[in-house]
Structure 1
Amino acid sequence: MFDPAVRRAPLAPRHVLVVDDSKAQRRILTMFLLRWGYRVTEAGSGEEALALCQQNAFDMVLSDWMMPGMTGLDFCKAFRALPREGYGYFILLTSKSEKAEVADGLDGGADDFLAKPVSADELRARLRAGERIQGMQAELVAKNHLIGQTLDELQKVYDSLDRDLIEARKLQQTLVRERHRDFGRATASILLRPSGHVGGDLVGFFEISPRRVALYSVDVSGHGVASAMMTARLAGLLSGASPDQNIALTGAGPGQVDAWPPEMVAARLNRMMIEDMQVEQYFTMAYAEIDLETGKVLLVQAGHPHPALLRSGGAVTFLGNGGLPIGLIPGASFERVETRLFPGDRLFLVSDGVTECPDPAGVELGSDGLEHFLSANAGMESQALLEALVWRLNDHAGGGDFPDDVSGVLFHYRG
């Protein structure tokens, strides 16, 4: 569709400029044109015609080629150089028929040629052909105008969405209330770098009791707004700020708070995703409960990358057996993994945005790359280690944005 207002009204006569140094020839052409319903203006020279064109937007021009002073071809070139909105159709009247001369006329901007003496039928046919070309050109201009308007509107929509996504990112960042906490016997530090404005990764920790701490790393399937909305929902279900809403906790009052075992936390989330939320999404998760006095770790791995256990001496062990993602299979069971931390050890729950980060050739960092990095930088403090990991991933990826969200929670046990 295009704006019909851009077209000429059907009954509006086209304005034709007739240019010839012969008054008799001008009168003959003018007689034909007036009979066919055109408006006509006459000019006796190229110079006079050019002056008229500077003040009027003629629809069509019929110009003799051979004239004293400014020739028809020179006038055509000057006519084409004038600024105008619509397209002016230019016909040269000539007795020339050599191919080289015709080529010169076309190069100079002429649309058509008419041999002298002029045949009324041929003149009328060529004028109609010109009208068809002008009609198609006007329609094309109108459509391009509409396309431009549509693109402007789309750009406004995209700009609005971009502003909304920027605000959404700010809000999503607030879901991670703390980036670092000191629990006395241990510390927990968080890494969260969404690949776009908003992401599907969620990492965090909360206190079960003064003696027990829970960590989690979640990766919702997909990217963008839908994944971000799911992470917001999960953030509320794993929030330490609202124990009564936390799906991992049991008990209703001070001193009565306890926690479900990690495998039960995964099972409860799986049932909620399938039976209550009924969405076409799933997520992977690593969830750990740690006893600050003994260093005992209870852990569940639900389709998430293997948690890394970094011993104080630099040795790295990957924990877990894989497990099923949450939200895929009704009644899925999840396996508990147990281990123990000793003073100086660290537990790292990490998303696949780290291990699957590709280099320019598509080669992923992998578990081996993560193991090498952790071993080589075991002496770093936790927050510095996470920053160094981001630099390592950026170097591995060759710079630019990461293709997936990069996140993790690093727990350092002091004992």
Structure 2
Amino acid sequence: MQQSSVILEKSDPARAGDHAASVLVVDDSRAQRQLTAVCLRRWGYRVIEAGSAEEALEICAAHPVDIVISDWMMPGMSGVDFCRAFRELPRENYGYFILLTSKSEKSEIARGLEAGADDFLSKPVSAGELRARLRAGQRIQDMQVELVEKNRVVARTLVELQRLYDTLDRDLIEARKLQQTLLRERHRDFGRASASMMIRASGHVGGDLVGCLRLDERRVGVWSVDVSGHGVASAMMTARLAGYLSAGSPEQNIAFTTNADGRRQIRAPADLMAAFNRLMLEDLRVEQYFTMVWAELDLKTGRLRLAQAGHPHPVILRAGGGIEIVGKGGLPVGLIPGAGYEDTALRLYPGDRLFLMSDGITECPGAGGGELGEQGAGELLQGLAHLPSPDLLEAMVAELALFAGTDRFPDDVSGLILDYCGAVPSG
């Protein structure tokens, strides 16, 4: 009589868990199958029997079972070949495969592992050992089911995040279009002077702003602003600051003040910085600050007054080819109550150009390390001085990209060039 492959326990163990897992028992010996099935049903498993690997493969293709217990040596397809074919079947959940064998050689065990077997039991099998191996297999399957469900949750979350991202991306594109309207004119002619402007945001929207306006019949003002941070909050602040310097709303323009008899007067640059500082700290009270340069040019005389508030120093490109880095520095606007600012008095001569820039230029990191710096920016400008100002600004962005090794700058890049011709061109 053939030796039994399962040694029954004397005690009747309790059923395992609430999940009635399906187990396929594959053995060419009917007696061996039934003996194993008795234990499995006692433990609460749903049992399916197959007398050959070929029959078992058909069952697995039609009904994905949770666990397979297969004899190794069978007529026709062996247990190892069946395991290999079983792994090739498409299925959603993982199937746990146990091989029953009398083989103990390491090379044979390796063959079984390479074929996809999860566990091995030597015949005759102890019922207690079989049950322990089945429970271990179910723990692995439970973890796989949990992982699959978590992956589904992650996938659903990613779909929702993508939808939100697409919505935000569309909103940011529209916000970019609106922000670009703050700089409607990239070039403006004032007769004796002209201003050329450029802004390159590092993202959809940015915190840099440049602009110009006519203050009266003989004076123009130009400015460069860089709001702290990036993104929507910074862009909203630049829009608000643009409103305070708008030529279209002179009654709200902070560049002007009203004297006792009701007449408008132009604020000195340092007074303008102080007024902005009070506005930020006393009225707006936001967790932001900004750096700024404001310059006022007398078109008839070329006299220039400017003030800095933490912004990079302006550069004067002299008509003769020299450069001058000017300004007295100063604290950013919106940080220190009562911060003081100083005017710098200069003079532009016909052919001179004043360049205002954000720290996206001076602090641009080079591909080989180190930043461009104010001196480097001045030298870069000097090398491009033969170009008209609108072309110079575009060329400067290109040169900055070469310096950085990329045109994806880490910060917003902006600049303004004020050309002074000194006399109204004839004709």
User: Normalising TM by the smaller chain, what interval?
Assistant: over 0.9
Matched, 1:33 2:43: no
Where 2:107 maps in the other structure, the secondary structure is helix
Asked if structure 1 preserves the Cα contact closer than 8 Å seen for 2:307 and 2:328, the reply is no
What stretches of structure 1 of length at least 5 have no aligned partner?
Answer: 1-9
Q: How far did 1:407 drift?
A: 0.9
Conservation of the 8 A alpha-carbon contact between 1:274 and 1:327: yes
Structure 2 residue aligned with 1:245:
252
SS of residue in 2 equivalent to 1:209:
coil
User: How far apart in 1 are the matches of 2:327 and 2:40?
Assistant: 91
> How far apart, in 1, do the equivalents of 2:387 and 2:43 lie?
92
Aligned counterparts of 2:358 and 2:182: Cα–Cα separation in 1: 17
Q: In 2, Cα distance between the equivalents of 1:269 and 1:147?
A: 47
Q: Which letter maps to 2:154?
A: I
Partner Cα distance (2:103, 2:409) in 1: 67
Q: Superposition pairs for residues 60-71 of structure 1, below 5 Å?
A: 60-71=67-78
Contact residue 173 and residue 204 of structure 2 kept, 8 A: yes
- Contact 1:352–1:406 (CA<8 Å) still a contact in 2? yes
- Paired residue type of 2:94: Y
1:14 aligned to 2:14?
A: no
Which whole-Å CA distance do the structure 2 matches of 1:72 and 1:377 have between them?
79
**Structure 1 residue 39: Cα displacement:** 1.7
Alignment partner, residue 269 of structure 1: 276
- Indicate the residue corresponding to 2:229 in structure 1: 222
Aligned: 1:397 with 2:424: no
Whole-Å separation in 2 of the counterparts to 1:248 and 1:108: 81
Which residue number in structure 2 is paired with residue 94 of structure 1?
101
Q: Structure 2 matches for 1:5-404, cutoff 5 A?
A: 11-251=18-258, 257-404=264-411
Amino acid in the other structure paired with 1:309:
I
SS of residue in 1 equivalent to 2:215: strand
Q: Following the alignment from structure 1 to structure 2, what is the Cα–Cα distance between the partners of residues 299 and 165? A: 34
Q: Distance in 2 between matches of 1:367 and 1:287?
A: 18
TM-align CA RMSD: 1.7
Residue 129 of structure 1 aligns with an amino acid whose one-letter code is A
Cα pair distance change 1:256/1:380, threshold 3 Å: farther
Instruction: Give % identity.
Output: 64
TM-score of the two chains, using structure 1 as the length reference:
0.93
Distance 1:324 1:33 in 2: 81
CA drift at 1:57 = 0.8
Per the alignment, do residues 332 and 75 of structure 1 end up closer, same or farther by CA in structure 2, a change over 3 Å counting? same
Task: Report the CA distance between 1:401 and its aligned residue.
Answer: 0.8
Measured in 2, the distance between the counterparts of 1:106 and 1:376 equals: 70
Cα distance in structure 1, aligned partners of 2:113 and 2:384: 74
Deviation at 1:345, TM superposition (A): 1.2
The secondary structure found in structure 2 opposite 1:54 is helix
Q: Deviations over 1:257-295 (max 9, x none)?
A: 431111111110011111111122211111011111111
Query: In 1, are the aligned partners of 2:309 and 2:330 still within 8 Å (CA)?
Result: yes
Over residues 276-315 of structure 1, what are the superposed CA-to-partner deviations in whole Å (9 max), with x where a residue is unaligned?
Answer: 1112221111101111111111111111111111111111
Q: One-letter code of the match for 2:292? A: M
- 140-149 or 313-322, larger mean C-alpha shift: 140-149
- Aligned residue identity for 1:114: L
Shift of 1:47: 0.8
Is residue 384–residue 396 contact of structure 2 (8 Å, CA) maintained in 1? no
Q: Which moved more, 1:343-352 or 1:156-165?
A: 156-165
TM-score, normalization by structure 2: 0.90
CA distance in 2, matches of 1:364, 1:258: 41
